[in-house]
Amino acid sequence: MEKTLPLPINNCKYEDADFVIFGVPNDKGSRYRKGSKDAPNSIRRYVNKNEIGEVILGKNISLFGTGTKKFSAKTTDVGNVKIGEEEAMAKKIHADKKIPVVIGGDHSVTYRIIKGMNIKGNWGVLYFDAHPDLISSRGSYFGSVMNDISKLRGFSPKESIIIGMRTPEEEELDNIKKLGIHVITPVDIERLGVREILKKIKETLGKRIYLSIDMDVIDPVFAPGVTEPEPAGILPNQLLIIAKEIAKEGVLGFDLMEICPKYDIQNTTQYLAYRIILEIISSMQDR
């Protein structure tokens, strides 16, 4: 395996960093299409090989307005952890008062990240996903993530939102009701518009938020390289505007899951993934 360079936003050592990026090359929680384990290194290889990361960094990093603010967030990319070490890594980063930025891997990784962080007090999740991941008849895989998370200490379903959902199973709809968790569909976003949706999100979320993005939330036209593509998804800019706005107010950590390079077309999904990471961190850089 060739040695992979860190992401171009890697600009300091762990000790000095506010943001710590690491990959979790684990797709054991997937059922049908495997391959999300290749995402962390594939994204690094792609953006470095094409100098895309550098090009973005040298120019405007903000989608808002036409300014040319430089990326200045103290960020380190520490590479990948071994399978099973993601929980300890998340624990260390959170204890060191830094923000973990995790590249999966399948979505079950998210549960172990949040568990490892062991967040004090009440906290909620902003969960971008085509699927609610609320299967309760089976656990510890990519279909049960939200249900697994709901059992963690301090989790507040009423301060949590699943956004972009469009293919729930009956069991999952029951669990949404049972937990009292909020749902925003892609149709809601189109009908109400991003501005109204953001107002609702801010009213719902509390102070401590973990942000999780399953790449399948995006329409497969824009993100074909995912484990389980679902038609009629949200647009990249809808995700970016919402995620950046929420990140501006602070998140405890965030992740990008279920990117599956072998199904990608012209690396479109991986390029978008890098852009999302860069944009979200840049929204938090002045905090």
Binding residues vs Mn ion (CB under 5 A): 107, 129, 133, 214
Decide: residue 130, CB within 10 A, 0-12 exposed, 13-18 middle, 19+ buried.
buried
CB of 155 to Mn ion, least distance (A): 17
Q: Pick the closer one to Mn ion by CB: 40 or 53.
A: 40
Nearer residue to Mn ion within complex by CB, 129 or 264? 129
Is there a contact between 269 and 229 (Cβ–Cβ < 8 Å)? no
Nearer to Mn ion, 9 or 114 (CB): 114
For residue 48, give the H/E element and its range: helix 39-49
Q: Give the shortest CB-106-to-Mn ion separation in angstroms.
A: 8
Residue 129 vs 279, nearer CB to Mn ion: 129
- Work out how close the CB of 215 gets to Mn ion at its nearest, in angstroms, rounded to a whole number: 9
* C-beta of residue 137 within 8 angstroms of C-beta of residue 171: yes
- Nearest in space to 90 (alpha carbons), one of 100, 81, 78, 79: 100
Question: How many C-beta atoms lie closer than 10 Å to residue 118's C-beta?
Answer: 14
DSSP 205: -
In the complex, the smallest distance separating the C-beta of residue 172 from Mn ion, rounded to whole angstroms, is 11
Nearest distance from residue 129's CB to Mn ion, in Å?
4
Give the C-alpha separation, 249 to 162, whole Å.
19
Three-class SS of residue 170? helix
Q: 27 or 133: whose CB is closer to Mn ion?
A: 133
Closest CB to Mn ion among 123 and 142? Answer: 142
CB 80 within 8 A of CB 72: no
Q: Quote the least distance from Cβ 26 to Mn ion, whole Å.
A: 14
